[in-house]
């Protein structure tokens, strides 16, 4: 079937198209060149509409053990936001920790067609994929967490060579069916198991003697040498700690030019100035990002209201557990692999710290010059539920609205931010970069995030509106792989996306020491640990897409 | 994956039955389909794997019929019902997925066979939370293990062999101290060879008081009593000090055997005690359970609906109520008018007696004192078909493999077929 999308105003930054009226043609799920003389089976008149590729969330906690702990823990949060069963849709719950079905529906209803779970514990990867397997419509993928696993820490302690680490990293990507590698509080999740309560960049893990700097350097090198497109995804040391801006700046300089992605950097951009000993480090962070082209960031914007924080960073989650709202929380030490901490939290606009966190996130968005290197996230659900993205986009695009919101916050926080003086407003083209073209490039998806011939026909069509929040909340049409899935902001058809992975080459000799390690210390056979393709594909709904790696080893 | 090393002989077979996910079994499948655990079996895994195959014929009111007829009859009964109950939910991930799809479509209530035991922990998670760990952390890290309540070594026969009496990365077997708070262990829980277990003896029924006093002592509160549940407070004070002195203590309990009203309050006391110890050193809880894959229902219900079990779909949205949506109450008060019972792991897990049309999707070989309206025998996940089931520690999902082909459908296939016929 040939579909013609006629006369829409196209924003396709991957091809430098900034608001030009174009026709698009879709055949067999792909965008194609206009086939000469072919009969158009279905035409959509998009004159006056805005056309972008489907949006990509490159960091959102949508599946896996800690998300499910958050769901089961929060019945009171679900009750206020139920999803009704219809002829087409499964029932479920929304808001802070939505059910899998609802996750897919609500992302698609906002024009998102792909999402990446950024904290897949290797031992829990099977669960992450099963949950994501029950998220309809979206493409998905995961970043496998390394850096506090005892196998790697033993390698580092014993001075293993980089080549062996690379093999282990590549093996992990294969075994967990992931597309990237993430490190969370490098070495710190393990250190907490040894009762260390803090671990700064150059502090030694008391058992292994290894520092976070070593872990970061080794993993960033491995990811780079293996040619994995997505740079090492870094949740740094000292999350949430006033003064952590120094650690973050040292992390940037210490990586010595290797590609790294610093995630939810808002939580890592705090100074210690002012009466409350809490201040914005956003300007210094933005300056460092601007000066270091090897660095990309996503913001992890906070927005006010009830949410839940779910993280692999047990050390910091335990430290912050006293702030839980409501008063309940979970910390787990997991399988010599990592851990997780789940702490419900309510961000308040009349709380000085929360108000300043809000401003810091926006300062970073607005002070980082290159929209190809800063990404739109709330670290769902840690800063806010993903359903607040349209509101966040309005904050970026509409200075009047932004300053009006700012004027309602805790007065001392207003004094501690330069936000009111920042004039920048994001353009639609820049929004399309950070949520589409840039995100696809960052993760290594060559056929997503753009509208050129050969691209998957993931397409979102918006109706222009002076209130961009309303515009981004309710697209006129969303196509997933060429099928119309959303019309006027509502699901009209349910499809199933693919799972994006990479499978870099490695020397299988690494499996010998790994098998011995599994037999001696873990509770599962190595061979039972590995997730094989059929586990994802056997239900006839799921599929695996392998993206190429250009080895640099 | 399970490896076929000779005709009918499988190695590295994972067990969905034992709760601790052993995956080192050697299992033989005979020409007649009979399954035998040849190596490393224990009473729990053998009882799971070695159930006789039984008659594969579906039945309506006890009369043999075709699968299609049984599925059709089940759909007919469900169409006629105004509020069905989909219960048991003892199945692999795909089985629970299918049951939830059916329940959502029917507007049914959903409950699990082991809800009472599961809720003793879940209510604590939902009220105050906890600090827990997984089996490999116990194995490699725990220098002090407190077994809270009796019978753990009988319920989880290989727990000690695999996680306690073995050298870990950070602690040797002979460095570990094991204290039984409750009852002295039977032979299965004793080190072999090794030191005699330390026991602070009390009846399980006294655990709420004992744990409350222990929590107070850990917090440094003054305790006036001299003994609680027969245990001198001075010995509990020593235990409190031992927890604080340990590098990584683990308190282990099995809520399924805490059969007194509101046992969740004792679980909560235990979990708050653990949080308190973590002010100065490390300590975790390990809830033991998950036999016959029972954590699987909690996980899948959690991600598909947001709620762990006891969910009512009758208003078109999932609504959770851990009391009102209990199988026993719904049947007892006549609130439901049809029952679907899913029990794919254990032929002994028969449905509760009910005076309403009952559709059993049960492991082949299940027998009944009174035949249900419909019985559809299905294969067991991990024997008859591949699948996934969770371990007690929730994090680890086991991949289960097909070991034999005897022509049995899976529970998921049968339930999906019923849904298609509605």
Q: Kind of pairing, strands A180-184 and A139-145?
A: parallel
Identify the three-state secondary structure at position A150.
helix
- A328 with B128: Cβ contact below 8 A: yes
Domain count, chain A: 1
Give the model's pLDDT for residue A138. Answer: 98
Same domain (yes/no): B31, B105: no
- State whether B179 and B87 are in the same domain: no
Q: Are residues B131 and B235 in the same domain?
A: yes
pLDDT tens-digit series, residues A17-62: 999 999 999 999 999 999 888 899 999 999 999 999 999 999 999 9
Which residues fall within 8 angstroms of residue A355, CB to CB, at 6 or more apart? A348, A349, A409, A410, A413, A414
Q: Is A332 on the interface with B (CB under 8 A)?
A: yes
User: Taking CA atoms, what residue in A is nearest to B244?
Assistant: A195
String of b and e for A140-176 (b: at least 16 CB within 10 Å)? bbbbbbbbbbbbbbbbbeeebeeebbbbbbbbbbbbb
| Integer Cα distance of B288 and B19 in angstroms | 7
* pLDDT at B390 exceeding the cut of 70: yes
Determine the Cα angle at B348 with ends B346 and B354, to 5°.
115
Does residue B228 sit in the same domain as residue B174? yes
pLDDT digits (tens, 9 = 90+) for A307-336: 999 999 999 999 999 999 999 999 999 999
Using CA atoms, how far apart are residues B300 and A118, in angstroms rounded to an integer? Answer: 21
Q: Are A544 and A501 in contact (CB under 8 A)?
A: yes
Same domain, B141 and B248: yes
Q: What is the pLDDT of residues B293-346, one digit of tens each?
A: 999 999 999 999 999 999 999 999 999 999 999 999 999 999 999 999 999 999
pLDDT at B384: 98
- Record the tokens describing residue A249, joined without a space: 């700046």
Any domain includes A325: yes
CB neighbour class for A80 (10 Å; exposed up to 12, middle 13-18, buried from 19): exposed
d(C-alpha A534, C-alpha A516), whole Å: 26
Which of A86, A343, A523 best probes binding to B when mutated, by most B CB atoms within 10 angstroms?
A: A523
**Residue A121 structure tokens:** 């514990």
Work out the pLDDT band at B188, boundaries 50, 70, 90: low
- A258 and chain B: CB distance < 8 Å anywhere? no
Q: Which of A332, A531, A533 to substitute to test the interface with B, most B CBs within 10 Å?
A: A332
Q: Are residues B186 and B80 in the same domain?
A: no
> Rounded to whole angstroms, how far apart are CA atoms A254 and A256?
5
Q: Of the residues B227, B257, B289, which one is the last residue of a structural domain?
A: B289
Same-domain pairing of B124 and B272: yes
Determine the pLDDT at residue B196: 73
- Of the candidates A156, A67, A127, A113, the one whose C-alpha atom is nearest the C-alpha of residue A381 is A67
Which among B302, B319, B396 has the least Cβ separation from residue A524?
B396
First and final C-alpha spacing in chain B: 37
Interface of A with B in 79-108 (CB under 8 A): 79, 82-85, 90-93, 97-101
Within a domain: A445: yes
- CATH number of the domain at A128, please: 3.20.20
List the one residue out of B147, B250, B272 whose CA is nearest residue B199: B147
pLDDT exceeds 70 at position A187: yes
Please tell me the predicted confidence (pLDDT) of residue A454: 97
The reply to whether A519 falls in a domain is no
Give the model's confidence band at B192: pLDDT under 50 very low, under 70 low, under 90 confident, else very high: low
CA distance A134 to chain B (A): 8
Residue-wise pLDDT tens digits, B236-254: 999 999 999 999 999 999 9
pLDDT of A227 over the 60 cut: yes
Q: Which two tokens stand for residue B273?
A: 């005690």
Query: Is residue B9 within 8 Å of residue B38, measured between CB atoms?
Result: yes
Query: How far is A69 from chain B, CA to nearest CA, in Å?
Result: 8
The closest of A111, A18, A129 to A56, measured between CA atoms, is A111
- Residue B279's CATH number: 3.40.228.10
Question: Are B172 and B215 part of one and the same domain?
Answer: yes
How far lies A162's CA from each of A128, A155, A169, A214, A229, in Å?
29, 10, 10, 12, 19
- Does B141 sit within 8 Å of A92, measured CB to CB? no
* Non-local CB neighbours of A534 within 8 Å, separated by 6+ positions: none
Predicted local distance difference test score (pLDDT) of residue A173: 98
Q: Is residue B195 predicted with pLDDT exceeding 90?
A: no
Distance CA A361, CA A501 (A): 30
Contact flag A123-B129 (C-beta cutoff 8 Å): no
Look up residue B326 and give its two tokens.
């209990």
Say whether residue A531 is in contact with chain B using an 8 A CB cutoff. yes
The enclosing H or E element of A132 equals helix A125-133
Residue pLDDT, tens place only, A60-98: 999 999 999 999 999 999 999 999 999 999 999 999 999
The dihedral over CA atoms of B170, B173, B174, B180, expressed in degrees to the nearest 10, equals: 110
- Looking at the predicted structure, is the pLDDT value of residue B400 above 70? yes
Within-domain flag for A530 = no
* Same-domain status, B168 and B303: no
Beta bridge partners of B109: B85, B312
Single residue among B254, B273, B289 that ends a domain in this structure: B289
The secondary structure of B146-209 as a DSSP string is: EEESS-HHHHSTTHHHHHTSS--SSS-GGG-EEEEEES---GGGS-TTSPPPEEEE--GGGHHH
A553 in a domain, yes or no?
Answer: no
Q: What is the mean pLDDT of residues A261-281?
A: 98
- Once rounded to an integer, what is the mean pLDDT over residues A278-304? 98
Q: Which of A69, A150, A324 is the closest to B169 by Cβ? A: A150
pLDDT tens-digit map of B47-73: 999 999 999 999 999 999 999 999 999
Map residue B140 onto helix, strand or coil. Answer: helix
Domains: count for chain B: 3
User: What pLDDT score does A527 carry?
Assistant: 96
Tell me which chain B residues have a C-beta less than 8 angstroms from the C-beta of A63.
303
pLDDT single digits (tens) B96-150: 999 999 999 999 999 999 999 999 999 999 999 999 999 999 999 999 999 999 8
Residue B35 phi, psi (nearest 5):
-110, 135
| Predicted ipTM of the assembly | 0.97
Find chain B residues with C-beta within 8 A of A535's C-beta: 388, 399
Task: List CB contacts (< 8 A) between A91 and chain B.
Answer: 104, 305, 313, 316-318
Q: Average pLDDT, stretch B338-362?
A: 98
* Structure-token pair, residue B385: 């078909």
Please tell me if residue B140 touches chain A, with a CB cutoff of 8 Å: yes
pLDDT in tens, A419-451: 999 999 999 999 999 999 999 999 999 999 999
Angle (CA) A111-A181-A454 rounded to 5° is 45
State the first-to-last Cα distance of chain A, in angstroms, to the nearest integer: 44
Quick check: is A425 in a domain? no
For residue B300, give how far its alpha carbon lies from the nearest alpha carbon of chain A (Å).
8
User: Chain A residues with CB inside 8 Å of B141's CB?
Assistant: 193, 333
Q: Is B127 on the interface with A (CB under 8 A)?
A: yes
**Residue B54 in domain:** no
- Per-residue pLDDT band at A539 (split at 50, 70, 90): confident
**Cα B420 from Cα B101, distance rounded (Å):** 11
A534 falls within a domain: no
Distance of CA B257 to the CA centre of its chain: 12
Nearest-angstrom CA–CA distance, B162 and B149 = 20
DSSP conformational letter for A370: -
Q: Are A244 and A252 in contact (CB under 8 A)?
A: no
pLDDT value for A552: 61
Q: Which residues 116-145 on chain A approach chain B with CB closer than 8 angstroms?
A: 121, 123-124, 126-127, 130-131, 134
Cβ separation A91–B317 shorter than 8 A? yes
Pair B249, B336 in one domain: no
DSSP states of A477-528 as a string?
EEEETTEEEEETTEE-------EEEE-----GGGHHHHHHHHHHHSSS-HHH
The residues, ordered by sequence, that sit 6+ positions from A411 with a Cβ below 8 Å of its Cβ are none
Task: State chain A's mean pLDDT as an integer.
Answer: 97
Segment A503-515 shows an average pLDDT of 97
CA distance A176 to A125: 6
Same domain, B277 and B367: no
Q: Do A523 and B163 touch (CB under 8 A)?
A: yes
User: Tell me, what's the pLDDT at B151?
Assistant: 86
Cβ distance B1 to A85 less than 8 Å, yes or no, reads: no
Separation of alpha carbons A389 and A436, rounded Å: 14
When pLDDT is cut at 50, 70 and 90, the band that residue B187 belongs to is confident
Provide the 3-class DSSP secondary structure of residue A54: coil
What's the pLDDT at B224? 96
Chain A nearest C-alpha distance from B226 (Å):
33
Asked whether residue B77 is assigned to any structural domain, the reply reads yes
User: What number of residues does chain A have?
Assistant: 553
Tell me how far CA of residue B386 lies from CA of B410, B411, B413, in angstroms.
9, 12, 12
Domain CATH code at residue B343: 3.40.50.740
In a domain, B178, yes or no: yes
Domain assignment present for A513: no
Record: contact A78-B306, CB cut-off 8 A: yes
User: Are the CB atoms for A432 and A12 separated by under 8 Å?
Assistant: yes
* Domain limits for position B224: 119-289
CB contact under 8 A, A330 and B247: no
**Chain B stretch 292-331, residues whose beta carbon is closer than 8 A to a beta carbon of chain A:** 298-299, 302-308, 313, 316-320
Query: What span, in angstroms and rounded, lies between the C-alpha atoms of B277 and B268?
Result: 14
- Judged on CB neighbours under 10 Å (0-12, 13-18, 19+), A454 is exposed
Q: How confident is the model at residue B38, as a pLDDT?
A: 98
Residue A153 lies in domain: 52-420+430-491
Q: Based on the domain organization, do B148 and B285 belong to the same domain?
A: yes
């Amino acid at each position: 079937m040939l579909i013609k999308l006629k006369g829409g105003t196209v924003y396709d930054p991957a091809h430098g198209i900034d608001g030009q009226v174009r026709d698009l043609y879709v055949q067999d799920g792909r965008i194609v060149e206009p086939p000469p003389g072919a009969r158009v089976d279905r035409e959509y008149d998009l004159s006056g509409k805005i056309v972008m590729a489907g949006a990509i969330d490159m960091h959102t906690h949508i599946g896996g053990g800690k998300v499910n702990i958050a769901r089961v823990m929060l019945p009171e949060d679900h009750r206020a936001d139920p999803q009704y069963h219809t002829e087409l849709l499964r029932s479920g719950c929304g808001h802070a920790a939505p059910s899998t079905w609802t996750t897919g529906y609500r992302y698609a209803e906002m024009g998102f067609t792909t999402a990446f779970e950024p904290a897949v514990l290797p031992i829990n990867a099977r669960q992450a994929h099963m949950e994501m397997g029950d998220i309809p419509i979206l493409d998905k993928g995961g970043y496998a967490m390394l850096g506090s696993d005892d196998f790697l820490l033993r390698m580092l302690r014993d001075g293993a060579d980089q080549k062996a680490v690379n093999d282990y990293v590549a093996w992990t990507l294969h075994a967990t069916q992931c597309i990237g590698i993430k490190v969370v509080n490098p070495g710190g999740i393990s250190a907490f198991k040894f009762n260390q309560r803090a671990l700064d960049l150059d502090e030694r893990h008391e058992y292994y003697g290894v520092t976070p700097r070593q872990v970061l350097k080794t993993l960033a090198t491995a990811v780079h040498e293996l040619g994995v497109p997505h740079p090492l995804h870094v949740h740094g040391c000292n999350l949430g700690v006033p003064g952590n801006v120094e650690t973050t700046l040292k992390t940037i300089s210490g990586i010595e030019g290797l590609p790294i992605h610093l995630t939810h950097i808002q939580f890592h951009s705090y100074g210690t100035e002012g009466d409350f000993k809490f201040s914005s480090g956003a300007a210094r962070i933005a300056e460092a990002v601007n000066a270091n082209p090897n660095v990309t960031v996503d913001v992890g914007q906070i927005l006010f209201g009830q949410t839940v924080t779910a993280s692999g960073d047990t050390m910091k989650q335990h430290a912050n557990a006293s702030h839980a709202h409501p008063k309940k929380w979970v910390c787990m030490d997991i399988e010599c692999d990592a851990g997780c901490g789940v702490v419900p939290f309510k961000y308040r606009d009349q709380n000085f710290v929360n108000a300043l966190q809000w401003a810091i996130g926006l300062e970073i968005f607005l002070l980082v010059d290159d929209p190809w290197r800063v990404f739109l996230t709330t670290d769902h659900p840690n800063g806010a539920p993903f359903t607040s993205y349209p509101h966040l986009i309005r904050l970026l695009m509409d200075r009047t609205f932004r300053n009006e919101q700012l004027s309602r916050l805790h007065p001392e926080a207003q004094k501690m931010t330069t936000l009111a003086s920042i004039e920048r407003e994001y353009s639609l083209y820049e929004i399309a970069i950070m949520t589409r073209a840039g995100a696809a490039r960052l993760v290594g998806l060559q056929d997503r995030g753009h509208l050129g011939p050969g691209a998957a026909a993931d397409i979102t069509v918006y109706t222009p509106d002076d209130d961009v929040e309303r515009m981004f909340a309710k697209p006129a049409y969303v196509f997933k792989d060429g099928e119309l899935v959303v019309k006027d902001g509502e699901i009209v058809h349910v499809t199933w996306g693919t799972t994006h992975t990479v499978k870099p080459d490695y020397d299988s000799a690494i499996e010998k020491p790994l098998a011995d390690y599994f037999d001696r210390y873990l509770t599962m056979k190595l061979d039972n640990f590995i997730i094989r393709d059929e586990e994802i594909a056997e239900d006839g709904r799921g599929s695996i897409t392998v993206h190429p790696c250009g080895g640099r080893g | 994956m399970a490896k076929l090393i000779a005709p009918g002989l499988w190695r590295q077979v994972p067990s969905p039955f034992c709760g601790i996910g052993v995956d080192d079994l050697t299992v033989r499948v005979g020409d007649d389909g009979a399954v035998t655990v040849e190596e490393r079996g224990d009473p729990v895994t053998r009882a799971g794997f070695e159930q006789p195959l039984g008659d594969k014929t579906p039945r309506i009111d006890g009369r043999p019929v075709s699968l299609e007829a049984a599925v059709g009859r089940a759909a007919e009964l469900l169409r006629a019902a105004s509020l069905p109950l989909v219960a048991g939910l003892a199945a692999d991930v795909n089985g629970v997925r299918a049951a939830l799809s059916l329940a959502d479509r029917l507007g049914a209530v959903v409950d699990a066979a082991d809800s009472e035991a599961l809720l003793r922990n879940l209510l604590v998670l939902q009220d105050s939370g906890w600090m827990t760990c997984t089996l490999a952390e116990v194995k490699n890290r725990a220098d002090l293990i407190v077994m809270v309540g009796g019978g753990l070594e009988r319920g989880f026969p290989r727990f000690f062999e695999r996680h306690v009496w073995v050298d870990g990365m950070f602690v040797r077997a002979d460095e570990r101290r094991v204290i039984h708070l409750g009852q002295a262990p039977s032979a299965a829980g004793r080190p072999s060879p090794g030191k005699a277990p330390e026991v602070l003896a009390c009846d399980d029924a006294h655990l709420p008081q004992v744990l409350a006093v222990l929590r107070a002592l850990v917090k440094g509160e003054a305790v006036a009593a001299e003994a609680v549940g027969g245990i001198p407070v001075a010995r509990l004070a020593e235990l409190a000090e031992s927890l604080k002195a340990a590098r990584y203590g683990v308190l282990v309990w099995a809520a399924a055997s805490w059969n007194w009203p509101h046992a969740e309050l004792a679980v909560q006391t235990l979990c708050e005690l653990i949080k308190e110890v973590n002010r100065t050193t490390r300590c975790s809880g390990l809830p033991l359970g998950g036999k016959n894959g029972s954590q699987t229902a909690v996980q899948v219900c959690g991600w598909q609906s947001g709620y762990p079990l006891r969910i009512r779909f009758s208003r078109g949205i999932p609504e959770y109520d851990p009391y009102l949506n209990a199988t026993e109450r719904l049947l007892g008060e006549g609130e439901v008018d049809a029952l679907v019972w899913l029990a794919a792991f254990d032929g002994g897990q028969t449905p509760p007696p009910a005076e309403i049309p009952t559709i059993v999707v049960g492991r082949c070989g299940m027998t009944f004192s009174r035949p249900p309206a419909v019985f559809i025998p299905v294969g067991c996940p991990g024997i008859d078909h591949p699948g996934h089931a969770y371990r007690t520690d929730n994090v680890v999902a086991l991949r289960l493999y097909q070991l034999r082909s005897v022509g049995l459908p899976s529970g998921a296939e049968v339930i999906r077929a019923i849904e298609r016929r509605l």
